[in-house]
Structure 1
């Protein structure tokens, strides 16, 4: 008898939890930067196309797969996929749905812990009186585990552990008693905080509180379309990648959450409700905060430089300084709201990451809720500490690339093939529409079977063999040189090796040592990730053999 007796307390709680799973740090930190770098307002065109042809189909696929597996008492992807076809390989493809979440949680909770720390620093006035360079230096010192301004020894580690303890405790309270309660509080607060900061972002006036530009300058910078970039496959790949990030598809969390709904419960409308709530937060709120506020006070040239560093640079190195341009009190309140909404966006996502592992242990090995939750916390702590201790050596980025990018596309490609071609579109469509409170457009039968798998294959292949500089025209004309950002070149560490060769040629011993250390830690992190994947696969094999012995298969 399985120890897994979880269930959702209400439909509202389920939708908010699903929305919380999707609404994450990428909504506020990644989307506006991606838009700026990939055509501004023109980026919204491939973004919406990918939403309609990849995002929404995968939402329906994953919700229906989860509910289908739940009918048989399965709450993690290895055995959810196993119920859909008896080829033994599918359960091992399903390992991605557990491994990805553990690997992402390992570094994601570290960013989440920054938001806890920065909320406290905002309250005590750490950033008051600092200029932008000082705030940036504070962040660099923080991630280097430098001296704490609060007097807390090893402050980043302390907050990381606190964050993991909080996640673990909530998970130990179950779906309705823990995850759902947090979603019911966190999601409304996130939207409330976001609406306030978005209002401030779109009402900036040049000459007021030190602003040098009106809000319209930042909004124009973000949304002025560059239609020439529409023809670049790299822009479409970026749009597809953002859809994966923003909807949390290709991870296994949606499957797990959906496996706890009743067999006749609606999934079509629930999926749309959670998905469109996520889009509102990302496109409306996320786009009105980071870029408009930064350009309002720093100008386009400075922000263009910072955008190249990504959303983390703007969020943690810049905004704490800008908030205090509104006065000490409002600066502290805005800081708490900004890092508070990031915290709620983070924790509602990281809680979802724990549920596939917990569901697997409860289903297959009869572990209790608390034991499975604490095992997740311990594993994430062990796997995540290298991202904390060796952040400057690229361990964090390696986890993010392989687990948070490549794995999502690979798993989504396999699950779309399983659902539409192996399980069968006829049965799949019946699963999607069963108990539906809305009429699902019939065109999606064709899209899910043909368009979505082909687009996913294109995204994967395009990432695998990205041409140098993203110049697809030259590549297709026969001059195909792989870019260092391609998966193949990433595996070969081409960029790092070039930097090392340059440092050796320049006789720069300090840089040579740093790059040699980086190469070591990058390769070590990959070995660690592979070891975790193989360990989970071994547990799936043990669980399968256990089922055979017990006559369940």
Structure 2
């Protein structure tokens, strides 16, 4: 037992009411902004229809295996990321868990800003306020983007919806796992799917939609010989499923002891991919219409991914299409709902972790710590310099922080602590199908090799070429500095004393029989 002044075990965890609640919450986390504004462009730029081949391979060989790893850790060791990883892999594991919490803190403070933009544009859709120059409106009239790297000149059009989104998110979190997070997802996910289906059907009947779909689906099989296409597929799967930064560990810890793990994992993974495919159809049908209206090809359009696609290209499309106001409202409403369900999962990682370690009530964690994050969010991203800071922190948090977190988790849990047999036995004992040696090989060998390549390539690129032409000093402070703060925060939080005794815990079911069975295989 570790040295601690506490004598009581960590209090019992809240629980989802059932499998449907968990699945909807997990899908709500996985389906986010990246499904709508990242996947279509990545697929188009990496072989079109042919990209679906490496995408499916990546889903089966890395996405689902790592998703099940997160489920197994969270469900078996019954805790937030720091607590579950402490029980699974000791003090080093706890440090990795806190690193994941720090990543979520950084993501939360800027992710909320994008939701604020989406809410504003939802309102703007009804009078097409961006006029004939959506790009100029977004950067100038709306964001009032400044050249200075940091300003305290607040933008009311961003500040007001930003505060509103924080209030909504914290109220939901404060209500609890079932009455807050689960209920929100039970309402928001069906609304998101229905709204996006209406949007897609409308897009399919626009002039030029067929040409857009042809551009999206026409396969370029020669692209499959390019290793970069395969890396892009693994990257997309990895970032899309909300794995390796505490979310699925936390959500799985709220499941009842006797809960099926594999079937929900497949439902979440394929549900997320299905939504990405649906988003690709809707986005490229709409882009086909825009290209038709402009008399150009899809290749000639600008901003096919990310912020540019959502807040520059799509408003321009909406301004030209019949019934554009309602189409725009549907699009930005869907963007806000998808982002909100993901934001709730990101914040729940933070709330769960501080509650486990410091014995806070849910209200103290949600409103106290969440309120502090809201202040940081307003100061950094509610100003005229917010766009540059958001772009920079997002790049480092996702492409460096999360990938490094995944590699560290796999190495410590699977290699150092050799917990693969225990975790595969846990999944097998509670699932409709068993996972064994093949699963362990995919998680322990293939995943870290691919992720290691992605991480090294990204670090080399950032060091050699910088990012988006931003000054090197700014990138050093805001980009690399963000990662440094994550690491230091993890060290400090790991060093803090536990309010309760995390070692007063018994994993269930017993692992001896599953372990021997797996070894015989």
Q: After TM superposition, is the score higher than 0.5? A: yes
Measured after TM superposition, the shift of residue 153 of structure 1 is 6.5
Measured after TM superposition, the shift of residue 280 of structure 1 is 0.8
Partner of 1:208: none
1:98-117 equivalences under 5 Å are: 98-117=101-120
Partner of 1:433: 428
**What is the aligned length?**
485
Instruction: Give the conservation status (yes or no) of the 8 Å contact 1:354–1:376.
Output: no
Closer, same or farther: CA 35–365 of 1 in aligned 2, 3 Å = same
Q: Deviations over 1:182-232 (max 9, x none)?
A: 111111111111111111222223xxxxxxx2x221011112222232222
Q: Deviations over 1:162-200 (max 9, x none)?
A: 111111111111111111111111111111111111112
Partner of 2:313: 318
Matched, 1:411 2:414: no
Partner of 1:80: 84
Counterpart Cα distance in 2 of 1:351 and 1:116: 16
Instruction: Give the conservation status (yes or no) of the 8 Å contact 1:398–1:526.
Output: no
Counterpart Cα distance in 1 of 2:280 and 2:243: 21
Counterpart Cα distance in 1 of 2:155 and 2:393: 26
Counterpart Cα distance in 2 of 1:352 and 1:267: 19
Counterpart Cα distance in 2 of 1:542 and 1:230: 49
Matched, 1:199 2:201: yes
1:217-228 equivalences under 5 Å are: 217-228=211-222
Instruction: Give the conservation status (yes or no) of the 8 Å contact 2:99–2:490.
Output: no
Q: Which structure 1 residue ranges, 5 or more long, are not aligned?
A: 147-151, 206-212, 466-485, 500-514
1:226-241 equivalences under 5 Å are: 226-241=220-235
1:301-340 equivalences under 5 Å are: 301=296, 303-308=298-303, 310-327=305-322, 330-340=323-333
TM-score, length of structure 1 as denominator length: 0.81
Q: Which structure 2 residue ranges, 5 or more long, are not aligned?
A: 1-7, 147-153, 506-521
1:131-150 equivalences under 5 Å are: 131=132, 134-141=133-140, 142-144=142-144
1:264-279 equivalences under 5 Å are: 264-279=258-273
Instruction: Give the conservation status (yes or no) of the 8 Å contact 2:99–2:489.
Output: no
TM-score, length of structure 2 as denominator length: 0.86
Partner of 1:537: 491
Q: Deviations over 1:408-436 (max 9, x none)?
A: 21111122233433233221211111221
Higher relative contact order, chain-length normalized (CA < 8 Å, sep 6+): 2
Partner of 1:65: 73
Measured after TM superposition, the shift of residue 317 of structure 1 is 1.4
Matched, 1:488 2:463: yes
Partner of 1:170: 172
Instruction: Give the conservation status (yes or no) of the 8 Å contact 2:95–2:490.
Output: no
Counterpart Cα distance in 2 of 1:531 and 1:382: 18
Q: Secondary structure at the match of 2:172?
A: helix
Instruction: Give the conservation status (yes or no) of the 8 Å contact 1:244–1:408.
Output: no
Q: Deviations over 1:335-355 (max 9, x none)?
A: 221111111110100000111
Measured after TM superposition, the shift of residue 61 of structure 1 is 0.4
Matched, 1:401 2:405: no
Counterpart Cα distance in 2 of 1:535 and 1:62: 22
Q: Secondary structure at the match of 1:520?
A: helix
1:351-500 equivalences under 5 Å are: 351-384=344-377, 385-389=379-383, 391=385, 394-421=388-415, 422-440=417-435, 443-465=438-460, 486-489=461-464, 493=466
Cα RMSD over matched residues?
2.7
Counterpart Cα distance in 2 of 1:10 and 1:199: 33
Measured after TM superposition, the shift of residue 529 of structure 1 is 5.2
Structure 1 runs of 4+ aligned residues shifted over 6 Å read none
Instruction: Give the conservation status (yes or no) of the 8 Å contact 1:4–1:359.
Output: no
